[in-house]
Amino acid sequence: MAGHRTATLGREERTPLAAAREELLARLGTEQVIVDRQRLRTYECDGLAAYRVVPGLVVLAQDARDVETTVRVCAAHRVPFVARGSGTGLSGGALPHAEGVLVVMSQMRALREIDVENERAVVEPGVVNLQLTHATTPDGYYFAPDPSSQQVCSIGGNVAENSGGAHCLKYGFTTNHVTGVDLVTPGGDVVELGGKAPDAPGYDLLGAVVGSEGTLGVVTRVTVRLTRLPQDVRTVLAGFPDVDAAGAATSAIIGAGIIPAAIEMMDALAIEAAEEAVHCGYPDGAGAVLVIELDGPSADVEQELADVLRLCDESGAFETRLAADDLERALIWKGRKSAFAAVGRISPDYIVQDGVIPRTALSRVLRQIAELGEAGGCRVANVFHAGDGNLHPLVLFDGSVEGATERAEEVAGGILDLCISNGGSITGEHGVGADKARYMPRMFSDDDLDAMQAVRCAFDPDNISNPGKIFPTPRLCGERPGRHQGAHPLQEAGLGEVF
């Protein structure tokens, strides 16, 4: 890999990274280029702290030109680079490279343009998700993708991971809200993909770039669709005896042609954790709850609300509660949104899994997950976007018990196998990153992965743009592919310290 080669300059033999370091310091200065080991350590992981690698160098980009400069220098020396937004990702997508440059985008936070008339905004990638919503609310608009981390996560990160959120059932993922980007390709060219208008001629490379997790280049400008604030929002909390009944209610609602803004489900263990942490007052004795949110024109919402309450009743809900005001709505959501952290109250350690199944397979898969957990000696709490079948099972364990971590990881991996065998997918919204690259061959054929690799090689023939992510096996571009191996990508990509 790149980090193992050396370059000869004058009499001194230097690593490619050392050569890039010198050039970047000369061009961008010590304010923007971090070389101090202590400061570099700050960037050793993203939201998935299980993997840690201290980057070789950090560049604090102030504008698109800085990014272009950095990428050009990296390309010239074949030094790997990784772009990082707010570092809230959960798949290790922004895990640094020990012999590479980490390009920190979080200082590029300008809202370049708010074009209400055309319902578009043009932003720098470091803009925080909720910042854009706050800026457009006075005009009656917001930015629809709403990951749980929206108070801190960056729009550039949302683009890289094609982030979803509780409301993506109705409003779609980030890719449905991005109409254009400027991309610095791994070769250092600046390419404009899409724009304000929909359906540009030529290839829709915009769609391929959104969700490519930084492997096709670095985005320096994003044009997004603004969504009109709904006239009305109603939030229902419904308690069910078990997850089967809650699943039946979900299917009945969708089957009736209602698309709520969100349908979130929590099972008994997740409810227990949330109650302990934030006292959200969910229905006593519920085996499962649904949080159902309806939004849109008032007349419409009222009709849908009546239907939803009826369908919950018919599916066996023993209690339905309508939020009377914003405070009650906030409390309902607080239980749901705190669930991940709350699990820490009932278990010393846990793994957050992310997988997708067809909505209609919900009951079966939940049963299979429970069996899997039992066999592995782990409790599994389930919190998920029920409307679109995006599961977030939380695998609980105690890392101080010998072998417990391994068993929990096995259960978490087994859950992905269940998702695949039920016709689903290994990630709904957290991305593949460093964490799930080894699962890609379970989901895709060699030919499928070859097609992706071919595109990767077209953009990044030297494999320097966020290497070691998404793809299970780094391959030299141009060589005819062999079989993909399931080995851990971090070993194969030659990344530095992995804890």
**Chain centroid offset of residue 450 CA:** 24
Name the strand (E) or helix (H) holding 478: none
User: Closest Cα to residue 244, out of 365, 336, 354, 333?
Assistant: 365
Which window, 16-24, 80-88, 96-104, 249-257, contacts a copy of itself (CB under 8 A)?
A: 249-257
- How many binding residues for a copy of itself (CB under 8 A)? 79
Under rule CB under 8 A, residue 339 binds a copy of itself: no
Under rule CB under 8 A, residue 214 binds a copy of itself: no
**Chain centroid offset of residue 36 CA:** 30
E strands in 344-467: 349-352, 355-356, 380-385, 390-397
Under rule CB under 8 A, residue 403 binds a copy of itself: no
Within 168-207, the residues that bind a copy of itself by CB under 8 A are 172-173, 175, 183, 185, 189-193, 195-207
Under 8 Å between Cβ of 165 and 429: yes
Closer to a copy of itself by Cβ: residue 210 or 238: 210
Q: Which of 131, 148, 427, 473 binds a copy of itself (CB under 8 A)?
A: 427
Under 8 Å between Cβ of 425 and 375: no
- 422-453 burial, b at 16+ Cβ within 10 Å, e below that, comes to bebbbbbbbbbbbbbbbbbbbbbeeeebeebb
User: Closest Cα to residue 370, out of 391, 401, 387, 348?
Assistant: 391
State the nearest-atom distance from the C-beta of 451 to a copy of itself, in Å.
5
State the nearest-atom distance from the C-beta of 127 to a copy of itself, in Å.
22
State the nearest-atom distance from the C-beta of 452 to a copy of itself, in Å.
5
Under 8 Å between Cβ of 411 and 378: yes
Under rule CB under 8 A, residue 445 binds a copy of itself: yes
Under 8 Å between Cβ of 163 and 182: no
Which window, 25-33, 130-138, 366-374, 417-425, contacts a copy of itself (CB under 8 A)?
A: 417-425
Under rule CB under 8 A, residue 304 binds a copy of itself: yes
Under rule CB under 8 A, residue 444 binds a copy of itself: yes
Q: Which of 252, 322, 452, 498 binds a copy of itself (CB under 8 A)?
A: 452
Closer to a copy of itself by Cβ: residue 58 or 443: 443
Closer to a copy of itself by Cβ: residue 3 or 145: 145
Within 224-243, the residues that bind a copy of itself by CB under 8 A are 228, 231
Under rule CB under 8 A, residue 492 binds a copy of itself: no
Under rule CB under 8 A, residue 300 binds a copy of itself: yes
User: Closest Cα to residue 265, out of 230, 292, 241, 284?
Assistant: 292
Closer to a copy of itself by Cβ: residue 103 or 226: 226
Under rule CB under 8 A, residue 356 binds a copy of itself: yes
Under 8 Å between Cβ of 238 and 320: yes
Phi first, then psi, for residue 340 (nearest 5°) are -60, -55
Under rule CB under 8 A, residue 117 binds a copy of itself: yes
State the nearest-atom distance from the C-beta of 198 to a copy of itself, in Å.
7
Q: Which of 9, 35, 76, 299 binds a copy of itself (CB under 8 A)?
A: 299
Q: Binding pattern to a copy of itself, positions 253-292, x when CB under 8 A?
A: --x-x-----------------------------------
Amino acid in the structure at residue 86: S
Task: Measure the CA dihedral 455/460/464/466, to 10°.
Answer: -40
